[in-house]
Copies of this chain bind each other. A is one copy, B any other.
């Protein structure tokens, strides 16, 4: 008996759930949990089904499901347990450390294959925990050369996701396209407030009483990708920029790790510029 997660998205129509569940029943697959969502304005259907049973021929099951669904349906059958990830960093340790600690104690739901940094600050720490660190400076080279160096490293591994754990360089459209839907970023503000650089200074100047952080998929448009998770925390007049940064870091790591957990458990669909999160 195996666990199998099935992700399906397709145009909405009457009878989808019935069609899908009938196929699963015919394959002796018992549904443990099923979530679905209909984006009515766009007439799109999404479902995540966790089931148990014996599936010897996954490709055949997938084909039968597609035969019972509207055209343009996307079906994913997932049995793989742990994802493989690469982490990109600059100088800040807090998100990287949270990921590496969970990686070390096998509670991340993914395996960290490598860390790539455009500075050397986090090299020693990463290696202390037994993870390879690749130092790829962005200095004295153009962006495409810089990114090509990173790609060469990333492509050595069989990577499912690239996590930008406070990576402070903007990736080119080409890089993003090469790993479409696979790059997750943690943005240090409650988007869409304080887009761009220095959000904590902006928050300080504006005198807000709350700061936040946002984990999102990376797309061409900086800070505009589909949002996965967000959290906020209260601040007050006693918080200078430095205190906001400190409080913000705690939120950043919480938001990023929560997003990663959802991604690694295959609980997220990207639906145009938004996400559907089946918690």
Q: Which residues of A approach B to under 8 Å, CB–CB?
A: 14-15, 17-18, 21-22, 24-25, 28, 30-38, 93-94, 97-98, 101, 104-105, 107, 125, 128-130, 190-194, 206-210, 212, 226-232, 234, 236-238, 246, 250, 254, 271, 273-277, 279
Does B33 lie within 8 Å of A36, measured CB to CB?
A: yes
Beyond A93-B101, A128-B128, list 8 extra A-B contacts (CB 8 Å). Answer: A18-B21, A18-B22, A18-B24, A21-B22, A33-B38, A94-B105, A210-B212, A236-B279
A-B contact pairs, 25 of them (CB 8 A): A15-B30, A17-B31, A18-B18, A18-B25, A33-B36, A33-B38, A97-B101, A97-B105, A128-B129, A128-B130, A190-B210, A191-B193, A191-B206, A192-B206, A193-B193, A206-B273, A207-B226, A207-B227, A208-B227, A209-B228, A209-B277, A210-B212, A210-B231, A237-B274, A237-B275
Minimum distance in angstroms from A114 CB to a CB of chain B: 18
CB neighbours (8 Å) of A35 from chain B are 35
- Residue of B18, B25, B210, B226 near A230 (CB, 8 A) is B210
Q: How many copies does the complex hold?
A: 4
Quick check: A232 and B206 within 8 Å, CB to CB? no
Known A-B contacts A101-B97, A237-B271; the reply to A206 vs B227 at CB < 8 A is yes
Q: Which residues of B contact A237 (CB under 8 A)?
A: 37, 271, 274-277
- Asked if A30 and B18 sit within 8 Å, CB to CB, the answer is no
* Nearest CB of B to A16, in Å: 8
**Shortest Cβ gap from A275 to chain B (Å):** 7
Across-interface contacts of A130 in B (CB, < 8 A)? 128
Q: Report the bound CA distance from A160 to B34 in whole Å.
A: 31
A17 and B29 CA atoms in complex are apart in Å by 11
Give the docked Cα–Cα distance between A271 and B98 (Å): 35
